[in-house]
Amino acid sequence: MFILEEPYVSSFLRDTVAETGMPVLDTAMARTALAGTGVELLGDADFAAAYGRDGRTRLYANSENAIGWIAQHLAGTDLPRQIALFKDKVVFRELLADLYPGYGFRGFDLSELRGFDPASLRFPFVVKPAVGFFSMGVHVIDSPAAWPAAVDAIERDSAAFATLYPGAVLDFGRFIAEEVIEGDEYAIDAYFDADGAPVIVNIYSHLFASAEDVSDRVYFTSTELIERWREPFSAFLAEVGRRANLHDFPVHAEVRVSAEGTIAPIEINPMRFGGWCATDLAHFAYGINPYTTYLNAETPDWDRICAERAGTVTALVIADVPTSTDLAAIESVDFDAFAARFSRVLELRPVDFNRYPVFAFTFVAVPAEDLSELNTVLGADLTGHLRMRGE
């Protein structure tokens, strides 16, 4: 079953939905995305009835904008409980707190930010919305002196982006401050099967331009990553699933791995894989359809895939726009110039840049022995690709 919601449905997801013939909830986004496909949409009552009450029917939501509908119409199932454990970052930290003794975090309201004593946590620490998305409102604090400026920025972000997503997805009213988790960062698309065992669909490495960088600009996947981390990440997810009593449930997990190999969670996003259809990276990299893999209870043959595609590196580059940019003032984007940064573009997906602080999601292939294209775009100022009104 599918719930399709804003902000984005890729053509790959649209075609998958049409080909499966599985039930689809009647939403404005579904009507737009599936126009002309012949897919019949189900109203609220019929879709909820088709899902049933035993919690064993598999449901995929491309966006956390669907959480509100699930809470209202599937309240008699276990889904709202499972979602709540992960969507609120304070609740999530409490779920795993005993696994990481001494790790400091604190939740508080927006109104309490200015009165918070930053010295009560070890530096550096991160402050971000307790219910958040897409690195919005995320700031790294490395000293007491940095706190006032961060609060100023958070209040500006709140005014600019608080209505961009539903409150169940991004809520600038409540925050978490938590110590920085040192190490390399990875993202994992996975689902828990009928017995609660995790099945990994993809593993990405999240690149950063510097220690202060909190952006989501570049992710890449490779057979080397899959072979190195599939078993350790599966073991980590199995413990999470045991504590949360998960089954028939997709997640997008973000973790850091220390130099000693300790896996520490950053967050786990419920009911979906990579947002904005970023999970399609598995299709470009490995020929995997992540949606049907989950819904049909399939397990990727990673041994075969890694043997056949050894040495390949496939990346997702998110062309973000600085929060200081007046999105309404952007007249156009030079997508060709942006694409020319890469030697092999697999697909470039333009985004409504007047509405969202991103102008494209781009899938590229790069040589395994040379990630220079990715490292170059990491720190690049992409505003040069924007044409502003009146210029």
- The CATH number linked to 356 is 3.30.470.20
Whether residue 370 sits in one domain with residue 262: yes
The pLDDT value given to residue 134: 58
Whether residue 303 sits in one domain with residue 174: no
CB atoms within 10 A of CB 212: 10
Last residue in a domain, options 53, 85, 117: 85
Position 90 in a domain: no
Whether residue 234 sits in one domain with residue 291: yes
Position 91 in a domain: no
Q: What's the number of CA atoms in the CB half-sphere (13 Å) around residue 35?
A: 5
Whether residue 64 sits in one domain with residue 132: no
Last residue in a domain, options 179, 204, 227: 179
Position 92 in a domain: no
Whether residue 60 sits in one domain with residue 174: no
CA separation for the pair 287, 377 (Å, rounded): 26
CA separation for the pair 35, 31 (Å, rounded): 6
**Count: domains in the chain:** 3
Whether residue 172 sits in one domain with residue 215: no
Whether residue 241 sits in one domain with residue 142: no
Position 125 in a domain: yes
Kindly compute the dihedral angle of the four CA atoms of residues 348, 277, 171, 254, in this order, to the nearest 10 degrees: -100
The pLDDT value given to residue 24: 98
Position 93 in a domain: no
CA separation for the pair 144, 306 (Å, rounded): 47
Whether residue 340 sits in one domain with residue 216: yes
The residue segments making up the domain with residue 373 are: 184-388
Q: What is the CA radius of gyration of the chain?
A: 20
Whether residue 174 sits in one domain with residue 188: no
Whether residue 191 sits in one domain with residue 110: no
The pLDDT value given to residue 41: 98
Position 7 in a domain: yes
CA max distance for the chain: 59
Position 108 in a domain: yes
The pLDDT value given to residue 209: 78
Whether residue 348 sits in one domain with residue 222: yes
The pLDDT value given to residue 162: 60
**Tens-digit pLDDT profile for the chain (391 aa)?**
999 999 999 999 999 999 999 999 999 999 999 999 999 999 999 999 999 876 678 999 999 899 999 999 999 899 999 998 998 888 899 999 999 988 888 888 888 888 889 999 989 998 888 776 556 778 889 999 999 998 888 888 776 666 665 555 566 778 889 888 889 999 999 999 999 999 999 999 999 877 667 688 999 999 999 999 999 999 999 999 999 999 999 999 999 999 889 999 989 999 999 999 999 999 999 999 999 999 999 999 999 999 999 988 999 999 999 878 999 999 999 999 999 999 999 999 999 999 999 999 999 999 999 999 999 999 899 999 999 998 7
Position 259 in a domain: yes
The pLDDT value given to residue 133: 56
Token code pair at residue 43 = 């109203």
Whether residue 154 sits in one domain with residue 118: yes
The pLDDT value given to residue 163: 62
Last residue in a domain, options 179, 207, 223: 179
